[in-house]
Amino acid sequence: MVRIDGKAVAEKVLAETKARVGELARRGVKPGLAVVLVGDDPASRAYVRSKDRKAAELGLHSVKHELPAEAAQGELLALIAKLNADPAIHGILVQSPPPPHINEAEVVLAIDPRKDVDGFHPVNVAKLAMEDESGFVPCTPLGCIRLLLEAGIETAGKRAVVVGRSMIVGKPMALLLMRRGPGGDATVTVAHSRTKDLAAVTQAADIVVAAIGRPHFLGAEHIREGAVVIDVGINRVADASVPAGYRLVGDVDYDAVAPKCAAITPVPGGVGPMTIAMLMSNCVLAAERISGP
Ligand code: NDP
């Protein structure tokens, strides 16, 4: 069984990204990332902080905008318009989820698709579906594909089952796996909460991607001998034995499943570190595109 080391692959992506930042610097371009946070959700705040810190570490121009929880939709849209027009900013992301009074779909639509480094804008969603490589691909599924490639896992002709159909993970993951070329060409099935006999569906898979949001939901009965498992889930479970009072676990029961697998990603240390690395890579890509050849 191969334990796929997401931290090591993320370091590699970050090193490549840093080299591209150096190339841009020689042309007088500094990639700029604007991260917008509305409200004070502690998990969102932690994500924003780590994105900002990582961007600064790589030598990006990193700007953090924090709006109060009661900020109006119009205020957020005005900020996005300003960032769209700012030549020092190449990537814009609004941390999800915003407070309930914010219309997130309208916010995503307001971001210039050329600066939409999260890949959530409908133009970028359509480009992914059309296999048009001029768009941006959401960071988490992009990171999952990179993990498969780095681990030397063949996807062409393989049966892949993605459990979860969110716009952030499940759907783009399915599109990437079925796209033509390296890391793609799989025969893809997407399962969700209305799927009947999930175990029979996942048992048929050579590659299982779990993006469900339920701790240890997939067990040994879901995975066939020799399968590859990519666990996207990040779930907090109470654990009185650690100072934080909780620990992070995936959607897959790692201890039960790992012995059956050809390869599997752990949680933490699997997909998680890849998401931020791919975000940095997308931001540099935006700067490369906007600044021209
Ligand atoms: P969502 O809640 O948006 O989607 C969950 C999906 O799982 C839905 O499609 C849902 O089906 C499906 N599902 C729920 N229950 C079942 C069930 N009993 N059987 C089969 N399918 C089920 O979550 P996200 O896609 O945003 O995130 C999924 C997980 O990945 C979470 O743990 C999240 O924290 C993690 N995550 C990790 C990231 C990382 O960087 N590693 C980044 C983003 C997310 P239905 O559509 O029918 O409701």
Catalytic residue among 51, 115, 158, 171: 51
Looking at ligand 1, which residue's alpha carbon is closest to its atom 6? 164
Whether 52 is catalytic:
no
The whole-number pLDDT of residue 292 equals: 87
Query: Distance, CA 25 to ligand 1 centroid (Å)?
Result: 39
> What band does 119 get if pLDDT is binned at 50, 70 and 90?
very high
Long-range contacts of 77-80 (CB under 8 A, 24+ apart): 77/106, 77/107, 77/110, 79/36, 80/36, 80/107, 80/110, 80/111
Measured in Å, how far apart are the chain's first and last C-alpha atoms?
Answer: 43
The whole-number pLDDT of residue 293 equals: 74
Catalytic residue among 52, 118, 206, 253: 118
Query: Distance, CA 54 to ligand 1 centroid (Å)?
Result: 26
The whole-number pLDDT of residue 116 equals: 98
Looking at ligand 1, which residue's alpha carbon is closest to its atom 19? 193
Looking at ligand 1, which residue's alpha carbon is closest to its atom 1? 166
Catalytic residue among 54, 95, 116, 251: 95
pLDDT tens, 46-55? 999 999 999 9
Whether 118 is catalytic:
yes
Residues having CB within 6 Å of any atom of ligand 1: 140, 163-166, 168-170, 191-195, 198, 211-214, 232-235, 271-272, 275
Please provide the average confidence, as pLDDT, over all residues in the chain. 97
pLDDT tens, 151-203? 999 999 999 999 999 999 999 999 999 999 999 999 999 999 999 999 999 99
Query: Distance, CA 204 to ligand 1 centroid (Å)?
Result: 21
pLDDT at 145 over 90: yes
| Cis check: omega of the bond before 259, within 30 degrees of 0 | no
The whole-number pLDDT of residue 94 equals: 97
Of 118, 208, 212, the residue with max ligand 1 atoms within 8 A of its CB, to mutate for a pocket test, comes to 212
Q: H-helix or E-strand containing 231?
A: strand 228-231
The whole-number pLDDT of residue 164 equals: 98
Looking at ligand 1, which residue's alpha carbon is closest to its atom 4? 166
Looking at ligand 1, which residue's alpha carbon is closest to its atom 22? 193
Whether 51 is catalytic:
yes
The whole-number pLDDT of residue 188 equals: 99
Residue located via tokens 């988490």:
140
Q: What is the rounded CA–CA span in Å between residue 50 and residue 2?
A: 28
> What band does 286 get if pLDDT is binned at 50, 70 and 90?
very high
Q: How far is CA 20 from CA 25, 35, 59, 61, 283, in A?
A: 9, 21, 11, 14, 11
pLDDT tens, 245-273? 999 999 999 999 999 999 999 999 999 99
> What band does 17 get if pLDDT is binned at 50, 70 and 90?
very high
Q: Report the atom number in ligand 1 closest to the C-alpha of 271.
A: 41
Rounded-to-5 percentages of helix, strand, coil across the chain: 45, 15, 40
> What band does 206 get if pLDDT is binned at 50, 70 and 90?
very high
The whole-number pLDDT of residue 154 equals: 98
Query: DSSP secondary-structure letter at 137?
Result: -
pLDDT above 90 coverage of the chain, percent: 99
pLDDT at 111 over 80: yes
